[in-house]
Each structure stands twice: as C-alpha cells, then as structure tokens.
Structure 1
Amino acid sequence: MNMISPHSASTMPLSRNQSVMVPPVEGASIIRQYLRIAIRWRYVIIGVTAACLVAGLVITLLMTPKFTATSTIEISREADKVANFQGVERENSFTDQEFYQTQYGLLKSRSLSERVAAQLRLVDDPAFYERFNHSSSEPAFQLQNGRYSAAGRAVRQRKAGEILLDHLSVDPTRLSRLVDIQFTSPDAEFSAKVANAWSENFIGTNLERKVQATSYGRNLLQQQLAQFKQRLDASQRQLVGYASAQQIINLPAQSSGDGKTTSERSIVADDLAAINATLNEATAERIQAEARYTQVGKAGASTEALRNQAINNLRQRRAELASDYQRLMVQFEPGYPAAQSIKSQLDQLDRSISREEGRVKGSLQTEYLASLERERALKSKVDQLKSSYLDLRRRSIQYNIYQQEVDTNRALYDGLLQRFKEIGVAGGVGVNNVSIVDPADIPQRPSSPRLLLNLALALIAGLVIGAVSALALEQIDEAIADPSEVERRLGLPLLGSVPRVEGRTPKEALIDRKSDMVDAYLAVQTNLSFTTEHGVPRSFAVTSTRPAEGKSTTALALATTLARAQRKVILIDGDMRSPSIHHLGGVDHDRGFSNFLSGEDNIASLTFEMHDLGFTAMSAGPIPPNAAELLTGARLSILIERLLDQYDHIVIDSPPVMGLADAPLIASRVEGVIYAIESHGIRSSMVRTALGRLSSANAHVIGGVLTKFDARKANYGYGYEYGYGYGQAEKKA
C-alpha cells in the first residue's frame, strides 16, 4: 500500500455533502518558503546586488576625500555657584544628566560657532566658502575687487557658523566626563585647526560666563551690604540708648573651659544666683544644727557629747572607780573609809560629766541660733534681689526686642559679607571646570569615503532591494510554482504532484512500474481512496483550465493504476474536439463516445482494449459539429449508468474548462472531478475562474493534481530523485 502524499494534507471531500479528514499536510516552513523564493528569483537578487555594488564602488571613487580631526576635552561635574550659599543654584546629583546635556548644547551653540569663525578669520575668506561648495546670490557673498563687502559681514558670519556646525560632531564618551569634538572637511590641516579652536573658545566662553555671573553677584551684594550696614548701626545705637536710659547693665558673654560660650547676663541676675546659692547652704547648715540641738534635748546625751574626748575620759575614770567600789562592797560595808573615798570620787566625776554635757548642749544651741539668724538675713537679701530682678525683667522686654533686631541684622550682614568675600575669590582665581585632554592632530588618512564600509552598505542595500524585488515579483507572478500553492492560492485540496517526463512518452513511463510518474500517480490514487466512503470515486472526470496541461496523461495514469489494483476500469475520451486517447491505443476514432451520444446503443462496438495498460478505453468518436449539444441530453447519464454495471470505475478525459461548455456538462454527470494544473504554466486567476465555472455547474471538484512539476525550476527540491519531496519515501513504502 502506498503512503499518502505529504502535499495532499487537507480535508478531502467524500461526496457532494460528505467529507473525510486526512492527516494535515506539513506545509513548508516560513524560512523554507523564503528560501524557495530567493532561489527562484536568485538571478534578480544577484543582478540587483551586483548593480548596487558597482554603484557603491563608482560613487565611492567619485567622492571627495574628507579628513576628521578630533579634540578631546574633560568637563567636570562642578556646579556653577555664585557663593557657598544653599539655594543659589541646584546641585547636580550623580544620575542627573542635565548639566552634561547643557554643556553638549553649548558646544553646538551658534554663538560659539560664529566666535570660532571670527577667530580663524573665515568670515571674509572666499576660499572657506569654496572649500565647502557654498554659493549664494545674496549681495553679502558678491565679490568686489576680490573681497566681500563690509555691509554683509553679519550675514556671512552667521553662514560661516552654520557651515562649521554642519561639519562638527560632539561625541561624549559613555560613563565618563570626556567629550570628543570632531570636525570634518576636505583639508586635514584645516580640520585640526577648527577642532582645536573650538575647544579653546569653549573654555574661553565658559570662563567669561563665570566672570559675568560673579561680577553681577558682586555688585548686587555690595549694594545689599551697604543697606544692611546702615540697618545694623541704627539698631545698635537704639539698643545702647535704651540700656543707658533704663540703667540696664549686662555682663558680656564669656567662653568656658569646655568650649561653650555663655550669653550676656545682668548683674542683678548674677547676684541673685550667688545669694540664692548661699541661702541654700545656710538653710542646710541650720537644718543640721537644729537636728543636733533637738537630739540633745530628747536623748540627754547627744552625738556631740559622745564624741567629746574630755567627757569620754571622765566616763572611763568613773567606770574604773565604780569597779573598785563594787569589789570593796563585796567585803566591806558602805561606811568603810576606803569605800567612802571611792564613793566621793564617783560623785565628783558625775558632777564633772554633767557640767561637760551642759557645755556641749549650750554650744549646739548657740550654733543653731547663729545659723538660723544667718538664714533669715540671706532670705531677706534674696527677696530684695528678686524684686530688683523682676523690675529689671520688666524693663528688659524692650531691650531684648532691640537686641534681637541687632542680632538679626548682624547675622544677615555677616552672611552677605562672607558671600561677597567668596565672590571676590572666585572671580579673581577664575577656576574653570573644562580642560583640554588631547588637542587635535592633523589626520594622516581620510575618514571618508571608506571603500569597504561603502561596499558593505551597498551589498546590504543590494540584498535588501533584491529581496524586496523578489518578494514583489513573487506576488505579481500568478503561476503555481510548487504543490503548497495549490491549496493556498486556489483553496483546492492537493491530491499529488506529478514530475515532468523527459526523454520518453507518458505511456512509456506508465509501462515502467518503477518510474517516478507511476509512484506519483500511485500517491494520487491513494489520496483518492480517502475521498468517499467507498474509496476511489466510481465515476470521475479529469479536466484542466486549458489544453496541454496534462489532464489526458492524468486520466490515462489513474486508469492504469486502478487497473493494476485489480479494478475493472474504462477510460472515455470525452474531448470530442481534440481527441487523443485513440493515439495511445493505436486505433482511429471513427467509432466512440460521440456515436453513443448520437443514439447508438452498442457499447461494445465503441470500445477497445489497452492490453499493455490493462483497461478498456473508448475513443472520442467522430468529431461532431457541436459537442456541447450532444452533452446536454440524457445520453451521457445513461452511458455512465450502463457502464457502472460492467466496470468498477469510469474515468473520463474531459475537455478543458475555459472557452468550452463541454467540461461543466460532463462534470455535472460524474461523481467527482479531478483538476489538472500545470506547474509554472497557468495563472492562478485563470484556474480560479475555471473552478468558478465548475462550481456554477454544481460539479464536485475532488482535488487538484499538479502536473509537469520540475523541482529544480520551482526550487522546491528536498534532494529526492524527482524533486517533489515524497517520491523516495513512497518507493520505500
């Protein structure tokens, strides 16, 4: 069993109202389609590319050599501040490109270009305008005695600046502060001169802008300094006058050892603070003295008495005598002389201790009263100072207002003075944030034209134009180039592709069962077997748009393959205007299809056997005056009905569709129509028109067969023997 052709992927109709799904065709990929188009129109692409290369070569050789000189400068990220005062100008962040974009714009400014032109004396140089092919009919460019008129100098200066800008390029180096200034002209020395002059003048203009900015700021600040100086002097005089009138004396600010500075303070406040601190100490001393005195009154023996050395000695002596007295009382009576002596000493010691304790208590009372009196005196002084301080505070309210005004005026004056000093330093030093890194050298080789680059661009342009031309020609060309276009352009299921037969007749190719043609039509037969529920249609016609498209060969081949499949087949030559089947059978066409349509019923006398191909054939018969009139009757339907009783399949070689009514009449009587399409031989629009005629006749077109297919011509080859992509696979199957 042969394999289904990969080009027949579609929905194959079963009958007029039925269809069967066959595996979808694997269409050529987009890349493969473009490759096929490129190979098909390769001579167009090669021709266009060659023409572009020649044009690029000629244009390159005719171009005037130009030289590019490059000067490299560094632009630092320095904010142009008039003074170190926040708010004069916004600082640039690391990612902010506003500063650099501004510098690039200044490098390409018209004023800078005109300044360079004036410095190099290009404004009145006729050779400069001639070097750049500038010609103008304006009066400013008219030579008088070999010179330009002075009246048009402004116009020439503007034009010279425009010419320089047109040939200048500013190329910043990415992620750096370096900028390349490139100038291109036909003169190498002139290019280097302009590039260097551009860098130098840019630095000069940058400095001038800074000087102008500092000059304006210095004048403005000088006026403001004079105003604030007057305000500061007036506020100080007002403050001193009020302090004198109100007798307000403040001590000056002092710096402490830890680096802190105290503010001004009044004498009353200092006295109050000092006396109040002394009062606190006196109060603490009074409380301590009172506590000691109170303790003596409660306990009888104060802590002071216990710490007194004399009292402690007396008590120690008494303790010793008391001990001796107790020993004597053990042995003797109290009246014993020695005991009485010790008793007398004890009484004397008790009186001495009492006297000493009295003296300690008196001293504590005296100390307490003294501290109490001192506390009362200090408290009275603090109250007096408080009254004086409150009075001073009332009188200092206006003084503080005047003091604040003096402080504010002094701060403003000091700030302006500092800014004025900074402006003077910046204007005097003239710091510039632009510097020349590499001056421009005289270029030794021209930068343009570049032959290899131009040829590469010409090659790319030629390939692009050639590809566009190939695509345009492909769209214009309506010929069916490869099998995939049958369904894409015509909407017709593809039954198979048949290779072109060269060197022998189609009959000879069909007799050779190993030929490529046999393999191709076996694939067509296999696909036909999926078009109806009962397999290959029992009656079908083979037609085409116009003659010589291979329809007769297709009908002959299908009849042959069906006969070799042990089917009983009859081939009818339905083309009564140009019969051809009888030539293949080696008979004449005196009797055949037209005889039956004319009324003869003996079918056996109208047929002949094709023994070498294995089927029965019916020639077209005598050529009638009007074949369409014979086909309009019912005789064709009767013939098909009677033949189906004897044969398995009826194959009718139908006339072409265009220009004739025969094909639609035959197509409407059979089960289906197979449409033969010549590869590279018929326009798709004509095929669609012919298919429309068949559709109007209610004919059921089963599918199309692409005939005379040449894979090399269609550039469709997959490397197989006959080039339509499935032949070898079907041979192996």
Structure 2
Amino acid sequence: MSTVDHRPGHMHAKLPDVTLLEYWSAIVSRRWMIAGVTVLVVIIVLVGTLLMTPQFQATTTLQINRDAMNVVNIENLMPTESPMDRDFYETQYELLRSRTLAQEVIRSTHLAEHPAYKELAEKVASQAAEGAEGDKATVRKRQQDAVERALTADVLDGLEIEPVRNSRLAKVHFSSPDPGLSARVANAYASTFISDNLKRQLDASTFAVKYLSERLEQLRGKVEESERALVDYSGDQQIVSVGDNAPSLPAQNLTELNGLLASAQNAKIQAEAAWNEARVGTGLNLPQVVSNPMIQSLREAQAEMQNEYNQKLATYKPDYPEMMRLKSRIDASNRQIQQEIGVIRASLKSQYDTAAQQELLTEQRITGLKHDQLDLEERSIRYNMLKRDVDTNRQLYDALLQRFKEIGVAGNVGANNVSVIDTAEVPGSPYSPRLPINLALGAVFGFFIGLVLALMLHLIGSVRRSHRA
C-alpha cells in the first residue's frame, strides 16, 4: 500500500517498501533480459578485443649491484648490500625510464625506419623540414631530433620496469605490435643502459684523473718551492739538520761536555784534597812520598847514618872530623829527601792547577754552547715552520699520488655493476589484449548491468502501480 501527500508542492508518491523476495522475483522474471544484456556486453567486448592491435611483450632481466666488483682490493672483492640502498636502486630504475636512454635506444635500433613507426617519423620529419633554415646537415639534424622526440613518448609507453622484490634483479619489459621489435628494443635497453653506466663511470674516472693530475702538478710545485725555501733558510742561518728525532749539534756537544765537566770537577776535588794535604807538614806521610822508592831508600840510608852517628857520639865529640863528615852526609841526605818531597808537592800543585783550569775551560765552553743552543732554537722557529710546510705538502702530494694510481688501476679494469641475466626472446604469443580475461570481465560487467536494469524496471513498475492505486 502507498499513501499520497495532498499538500501543495508535495504531490508525489512514496516509494513502496520492497522485500528481498520481491527483488528475487523481479530478477527471476527478467532473467532473459539479464542474460541478453550479458551476452550483448560480451559480444561488444569480443568485437572490441578482436579489433585491438595485438601487443607482444619481451623481457630482459638485469642484475644491478650497489657497487662494481672491486678487483683491485682483495679484502672487499664482492660488493656488500645495505638497507640504505633504496635511493640507489630507485635512481637506476628512473635512469631506465629516462628520455635520454629512450632516445639512445631509438637511435641504436633505428626505430624511425621500422614499419610500426615509419609513418609517424616521416610525418614529423616533413613538419620539421618546413620553414627550416640552414644547410642540409643542420636541417637533417633538426629532423632527427624531432623524430626522436616524437618516438620517445611511444617507446616510453611500451616500456615497463619491474623490480623483483628482495633481490638485485630488475625486469625490463617492452611491448609493441611486432614481436621481433619488442625483443630487439628490450635487449637494446639492457645493452644501452650498461654502456651508459660504463661511460658514466669512465667519465667520472677520467675527470678524477684529470683533476688529480692538475692538483698533483700544483702540489709538486708547492713541494719544490717549500723545500727550496727550507734549504735557502738553513743555508743562510747555518742550520745543519742531523735528523728529525736527533738533537742538534750544540745539544749533542752540551751533553758530552756536561759529562766532561762532571769528570773535571771530580778530578779537581781529588787534586785539591791532595794538594791541601801536601802543602802542610813535612810531607813525609804523603802517599806519593811513602810509595816513592827513592825517598824510602834515602830515608833508610839516612836512618842508618843517624844511628851510626848516635853510636859514635858516645865516643867522639860532635866537632870530631869523622863526626862532622857523618853529620854532613846526614844533612845532604835530608836535603835530598826534602828536594824529592818538593818535587812531589810541585807535581800535586800542578795537577790541582790543571784540574782547576780544565774545570774552568769546560764551564766556559758549556756557557758558550748554551748561548749557541738558545740562538739556534730562536733561529729554528722559522726553520721548523718551513719544515712543517715541506712535510705537509709532501704528505698531501704522496696521498694524492697514491689515489691517482688507485684510480688509474681501477679505471683500467673497466668494472661494471650492471649485468644481463636473461636476454629477451621473441615472444610467441601476444601479451595483450587478453581475450579470456576480457570476456570474463565483460560477462561480469554485462551481468551487473542486466541486474541493475531488471531492478530499476521493477521499481519503476511498482511506483506506477502505487500511483494508480
């Protein structure tokens, strides 16, 4: 049952309440219409699919490593992957999709001459030649650029880059109406990408070699200039280098003289002690006197004569000639002993004076060497600055030279981080359109349209019946 609203401006009927059973009855009653719509849509999809140009897809599989195999470094022979390499691989995929690479592929495969693109290429070339000025080479170059730009969009439309999850592999798909062309372009993409990658590495290596060569030449000049300044300054200041870690000549002499001064002071102390002992008393107890065989012999002879004199003194008077001769001999022996003691004292005095003089001279020489060392240290400030400049420049030069050699060796190896795993083969069947999938989708879509039409017709009929009621 339905009700009618009689208020002005509201003359419309409310939609009747429809149950699921009524929906099912409507679908069953119009099942042939639903089937007809489904068949019609399937036929339309079939005709459209058959009218579509078949597309053949060829696939090349590439392996892209983060870095090239390091042939010149045994410790890191194979490249290692890092979770932070996503930006690197995204960059490689975008390079594969780049217009520049597409244009290189167009040139290498001569796509402009292929029947699938020849008509478009000729049309674009004729348009580019209209109103063009310049010689034939310029016009031809302009036509070639225009054709490449026009074909680039079609080539990129047929290109698909599919990274393989959790691997370093990437699949390069190319679709075209010609199966042979699809395989040729897919393989050309791989070879051109590898060639461009090697060229970029070679360009980078060449640039690095050129840059390092210029820097090496500059540093070589700086090293020569700093060494020349060091030699000139050391010559002007009479600075003799005896080694980086060795002391200077004045310092070495100071070390030696300090040892000599200690020896001289010790010798002076000993000589002074001996002289102080020798210059007082009779000197008979001096070690030099006691150990002198001549003096000891004279003293023994003197003792014998003195003993004889004392014995004869009991018999003879001192003025007796024999006693006087004996006394004279005793006095002569005593004088000879004193004379020998005097010689020993003079020797000890001479030794003391020599030791004191040696100490004084050594101290004076040390004072002079200290002055020379201080003066050398003052003059060495500038020398050390120049020496540091030489060392720094030489270290920079050696480091750059080593890097230059490494780049030269690595550049000559020609390492590549991209390789072809599977080349594209000529596909035996079209990739699109896919007739079974399209018919299945057409059947589902046609059935849905028929179902919607059946339900709409049922609702419209219900509304009309409610109006009549």
TM-score band by shorter chain is 0.5 to 0.7
Q: Give the alignment partner of residue 414 of structure 1, picking from 398, 413, 417.
A: 398
Of 126, 141, 144, the residue aligned with 1:140 is 126
Letter in structure 2 aligned against 1:129: Y
Q: Is the 8 A contact 1:221 1:420 kept in 2?
A: yes
List runs of 5+ in structure 2 lacking aligned partners. 1-16, 74-79, 130-138, 268-351
Q: Is 2:66 aligned against 1:73?
A: no
Question: Which digits, 9 at most, give the CA deviation of each residue in 1:640-683, with x for residues without a partner?
Answer: xxxxxxxxxxxxxxxxxxxxxxxxxxxxxxxxxxxxxxxx9426
1:426 aligns with 2:415: no
* Distance in structure 1 (CA, Å) of the matches to 2:20 and 2:366: 111
User: Which amino acid counterpart does residue 115 of structure 2 have in structure 1?
Assistant: A
What CA deviation, in whole Å up to 9, does each residue of 1:568-612 have, x standing for no partner? Answer: xxxxxxxxxxxxxxxxxxxxxxxxxxxxxxxxxxxxxxxxxxxxx
C-alpha deviation, 1:440, in angstroms: 0.9
1:376-455 aligned at under 5 Å gives the runs: 385-455=369-439
| CA positional deviation for 1:453 | 1.9
Task: Give the CA deviation at 1:396.
Answer: 0.6
**Aligned twin of 1:682:** 466
Find 2:116's aligned residue among 120, 125, 128.
128
Which residue of the partner structure matches residue 41 of structure 2?
52
Q: Give the residue type in structure 2 aligned to 1:267.
A: L
Q: Select the residue among 240, 244, 264 that pairs with 2:235.
A: 244
Question: CA-to-partner distance for each residue in 1:683-713, whole Å, 9 max, x for gaps?
Answer: 6xx99xxxxxxxxxxxxxxxxxxxxxxxxxx
Give yes or no for contact 1:228–1:409 (8 Å, CA) kept in 2. yes
> Does structure 1 retain, via aligned residues, the 8 Å contact 2:220–2:397?
yes
Aligned in 2, Cα 1:171/1:408: closer, same or farther, shift over 3 Å? same
Q: How many angstroms does 1:251 deviate by?
A: 2.2
190 and 138 in structure 1: CA distance in 2 versus 1, 3 angstrom threshold: closer
What are the equivalent positions in structure 2 for 1:331-370 lying under 5 Å apart?
Answer: none
3-state SS of 1:163 partner? helix
Deviations 1:511-543 (A, max 9, x none): xxxxxxxxxxxxxxxxxxxxxxxxxxxxxxxxx
Unaligned runs of 5+ in 1: 1-27, 85-90, 144-148, 254-262, 287-368, 481-679, 688-733
Q: Does 1:191 align with 2:179?
A: no
Whether the 8 Å contact between 1:80 and 1:210 is mirrored in structure 2 is no
Change (3 A) 1:245 1:139: closer
Contact 2:125–2:146 (Cα < 8 Å) also in 1 = no
Any conservation in 2 of the 1:141–1:156 contact (CA below 8 Å)? no
* Equivalent AA in structure 1 for residue 434 of structure 2: R
Distance 2:452 2:361 in 1: 118
Higher helix share: 2
* Conservation of the 8 A alpha-carbon contact between 2:261 and 2:363: no
The question of whether the paired residues in 1 share the 8 Å contact of 2:60 and 2:171 is answered with yes
Aligned to 1:709: none
Partner of 1:440: helix, strand, or coil?
A: coil
Kindly indicate whether residue 196 of structure 2 is the aligned counterpart of residue 205 of structure 1.
yes
Q: Deviations over 1:472-516 (max 9, x none)?
A: 778x75948xxxxxxxxxxxxxxxxxxxxxxxxxxxxxxxxxxxx
CA–CA distance in 2 between the matches of 1:109 and 1:121? 18
2:95 maps to 1:109: no
**Aligned residue in 2 for 1:222:** 213
Pairwise mapping of residues 20-99 of structure 1 onto structure 2 (< 5 A)? 40-41=26-27, 43=31, 48-78=37-67, 94-99=83-88
Instruction: Supply the AA of the counterpart residue of 1:112.
Output: L
Q: Give how far 1:379 is off.
A: 8.5
Q: 1-side partners of 2:432 and 2:200: how far apart?
A: 37
Shift of 1:424: 2.1
Counterpart position of 1:631: none
**Are the counterparts in 2 of residues 92 and 99 from structure 1 also a CA contact under 8 Å?**
no
Corresponding residue for 1:173?
Answer: 164
Deviation for aligned residue 1:378: 8.9
Amino acid at match of 1:682: S
Residue identity matched to 1:456? A
Bigger Rg, which one: 1
Aligned counterpart, 1:161: 152
Find the residue that maps to 1:74 and give its secondary structure: strand
Distance 1:142 1:415, change over 3 A: closer
Contact 1:188 1:442 in 2 (8 A): yes
Deviation of 1:418 (Å): 2.5
Cα shift readout 1:309-353 (whole Å, capped 9, x = no counterpart): xxxxxxxxxxxxxxxxxxxxxxxxxxxxxxxxxxxxxxxxxxxxx
TM-superposed CA distance for 1:406, in Å, is 1.2
Residue 661 of structure 1 corresponds to none
Report sequence identity in percent: 39
Q: CA deviation at 1:203?
A: 0.8
Change (3 A) 1:152 1:95: same
C-alpha change, 1:445 and 1:396, in structure 2 (3 Å) is same
Q: Distance in 2 between matches of 1:271 and 1:51?
A: 117
1:96 shift after superposition = 3.6
CA change 1:35–1:206 in 2 (3 A) is: farther
SS at 2:431 equivalent: coil
Once the two structures are TM-superposed, the CA of residue 102 in structure 1 deviates from its matched residue by 1.5
For the residues of structure 1 that align with 2:233 and 2:20, how far apart are their CA atoms? 102
Partner amino acid for 2:46?
L
| Residue of structure 2 equivalent to 1:718 | none
Whichever residue aligns with residue 410 of structure 1, its letter is R
RMSD over aligned Cα, in angstroms? 4.5
CA deviation string 1:114-142 (max 9, x = no partner): 2222222222x151326xx8588545379
Q: Report the structure, 1 or 2, having the larger strand content.
A: 1
Distance 2:450 2:248 in 1: 101
CA contact (8 A) 2:63 2:169 kept: yes
| Residues 61, 422 of structure 2: 8 Å contact kept | yes
Structure 2 CA distance for aligned equivalents of residues 279 and 463 of structure 1: 120
* Aligned mates of 2:434, 2:367 — CA distance in 1: 104
How many residues matched? 344
Q: Is contact 1:67–1:188 with CA below 8 Å preserved after alignment?
A: yes
Find the residue that maps to 1:202 and give its secondary structure: helix
The offset of 1:201, in angstroms, is 1.0
Q: How many Å separate the matches in 1 of 2:360 and 2:42?
A: 120
Map Cα deviations across residues 544-585 of structure 1 (whole Å, 9 max, x no partner): xxxxxxxxxxxxxxxxxxxxxxxxxxxxxxxxxxxxxxxxxx
Change (3 A) 1:429 1:79: closer
Question: Which AA in structure 1 matches 2:424?
Answer: A
Measured in 2, the distance between the counterparts of 1:375 and 1:477 equals: 137
Deviation at 1:38, TM superposition (A): 7.2
* SS of equivalent residue, structure 1 residue 73: strand
Change (3 A) 1:67 1:249: same
**Compared with structure 1, are the counterparts of its residues 681 and 162 closer, same or farther at alpha carbon in structure 2 (3 Å cutoff)?**
closer
What is the CA distance between 1:415 and its match in structure 2? Answer: 2.7
Q: Is the 8 A contact 1:225 1:417 kept in 2?
A: yes
Shift of the 451–275 alpha-carbon distance from structure 1 to 2, 3 Å rule, reads farther
- Contact kept? 1:218, 1:424, Cα under 8 Å: yes
Partner-residue secondary structure (3-state), 1:682:
helix
Whole-angstrom distance in 2 between the partners of 1:264 and 1:226: 33
CA distance in 2, matches of 1:74, 1:396: 62
CA contact 1:68–1:447 (8 Å) conserved in 2: yes
CA distance 1:382–1:443, change in 2 (3 Å): farther
- 3-state SS of the aligned residue for 2:466? coil
With a CA cutoff of 8 Å and minimum separation of 6, indicate the structure with the bigger relative contact order: 2
Aligned to 1:231: 222
TM-score by length of 2: 0.61
| Aligned counterparts of 1:451 and 1:270: Cα–Cα separation in 2 | 100
